[in-house]
Structure 1
Amino acid sequence: MPKTVQIRDLDDEVYAGLARRAAEEGISVPELLRREAGRIASRPSVSEWLRRTSRRPSRLTTTEVLATIDEWRGEWPDAGR
């Protein structure tokens, strides 16, 4: 069964931003908030995400990751100066 949520004391700037974004997408503010609430609810919390990812064994070191990133980026444009 659908539930109703009421948000009080929103700053004028916050509501204006919500209204602007909703208008850009051709939807109402309540529809924008309903969609965003669905997105938030479907994502894991930070603690859940950390629990999930901490179980994965990491075979890479920080040094290896940084070396790979440097390799992908290539030489800095002003490195030879």
Structure 2
Amino acid sequence: MPSLLQIRNVPDEVRRALKARAAAQGESLNAYLLSVLNREVSQPTVAEVLDRAARRSERAPVSAVDVLGEARSERDGQLQQVPTR
């Protein structure tokens, strides 16, 4: 169920800028702010991304260090096969 959200002490210049952005998109200020809020909460925060990455690395069968080491070894092998001048 939708609820009422009230924000106090919004500076006049911020309100004017938001209202202008809403008008530029053909939206009411309310509709524009709802879309801004929805967009904001649909994106994970940096902390959420880091937490998810940490949980994935705990489950990973090999470490990132191992993967990078293997990739470097493969690259070094390929470079050794390239003829030198």
Q: Work out whether the TM-score is over 0.5.
A: yes
For 1:39, give the aligned amino acid: R
Taking only the aligned residue pairs, the percentage that are identical comes to: 40
| Matched length | 62
- Structure with higher Rg: it is 2
Which blocks of at least 5 consecutive residues in structure 1 are unaligned? 61-81
Kindly state the Cα deviation for residue 51 of structure 1 after the two structures are TM-superposed.
Answer: 1.6
- State the SS of the aligned residue for 2:34: helix
Structure with the bigger percentage of helix: 2
Q: Deviation per CA, 1:38-58, whole angstroms, max 9, x where unpaired? A: 111111122111122344564
1:46 aligns with 2:46: yes
Q: Distance in 1 between matches of 2:15 and 2:50?
A: 33
Higher relative contact order (CA 8 A, sep 6+): 1
Instruction: Kindly report structure 1 stretches of 4+ aligned residues shifted beyond 6 Å.
Output: none
Which runs of 5 or more structure 2 residues have no equivalent in the other structure?
58-62, 69-85
Computed over aligned residues only, the root mean square deviation of the Cα atoms, in angstroms, reads 2.2
Give the letter aligned to residue 10 of structure 2: L
